[in-house]
Chains A and B, each alone.
Chain A
């Protein structure tokens, strides 16, 4: 994972919009959703760090997360976004894949 570079993430996000995607989303310790499949209509990143991401899906849905600090496009082409604190603990994660994540 590397510190979020906003313009890089914006470019990657484009590869996931206007299609069905699989989403892993979590607020660690409280909730996680894995392999939620949705048609991603639009996805934007905002803020100056930590960052916020908002997604519109299926023409009527929202997913919004904040506190994102790091990202990676992994070897499988998935976009992994996460928010770490300064001791390496993950607080939030938002991941997009074109195939289901391992269950």
Chain B
């Protein structure tokens, strides 16, 4: 049976920078991935280096670059919520939750990924994570909810009050090329980071070998710590 993953994030590039390796990995194994981006990142301050974007061209540029990143990662469907960047936390939470709940019902995912509402690190991240979490519980569907986390922070979850049992660690060593391609697709955001544009072997060496996810809610007990789709088996 076709496995499905729904990712609900805030900005173009969240999917690549935070969990691009994992998305590529599941896409390669046949999982159908839908990405929701609340905004088009239209208020970003990185304009390319040298700058080739301005405030008014930014939404179209970032949408185009996100579509290229989706192609690199194998994400097959992209949905925008058309909320302006930096205003997600000011959107009526009820209507936002309801919009995401409708998407969950439509996509019927086995796995939902979003931001943790406190550990998201940016007000837009926390707001979309809170709404997506509420929507997940409202739909009370069969799947599992996980929160994306940054870098290697959750290699030691105790510092955040979690245990290793709350963490899923995904090996992405075979998806680093796809992740790098996605980073480079987000050109206006990554040109400022010289390492991204170094020769491939040097740039690839900068990536961690794992991406970490916090278990949010699981219909089935979490039996394995290295797979987001535990109930369907490897």
Q: Which residues of A contact B (CB under 8 A)?
A: 1, 24, 26, 28-29, 32, 34, 70, 72, 74, 78, 80, 82, 84, 87-91, 93, 95, 101-103
Q: A26-B55, A28-B43 are in contact. List 12 more A-B contacts (CB 8 A).
A: A24-B55, A26-B43, A70-B51, A72-B54, A74-B54, A82-B54, A87-B192, A89-B47, A90-B51, A93-B54, A93-B55, A102-B56
Q: Which residues of B contact A (CB under 8 A)?
A: 43, 45-51, 54-57, 59, 84, 86, 191-192
Q: Is the CB of A32 within 8 A of B48?
A: no
Question: Which residue of A1, A26, A103 has the most chain B CB atoms within 10 A of its CB atom?
Answer: A1
Known contacts: A28-B45, A29-B45, A103-B84. The answer to whether A88 contacts B50 by CB under 8 A is: yes
Q: Is the interface of B mostly helix, strand, loop or mixed?
A: loop
B192: chain A residues at CB < 8 Å are 87-89
Q: With the chains together, A93 CA to B43 CA distance in Å?
A: 11
Q: With the chains together, A1 CA to B191 CA distance in Å?
A: 17
Closest to A29 in B: B45
Q: Is the interface of A mostly helix, strand, loop or mixed?
A: strand
Q: Which 8 pairs show the lowest CB-CB distances between chains A and B?
A: A88-B49, A88-B51, A28-B45, A88-B47, A90-B45, A89-B45, A93-B55, A87-B192
Q: With the chains together, A32 CA to B43 CA distance in Å?
A: 9
Known contacts: A32-B43, A103-B84. The answer to whether A90 contacts B49 by CB under 8 A is: no
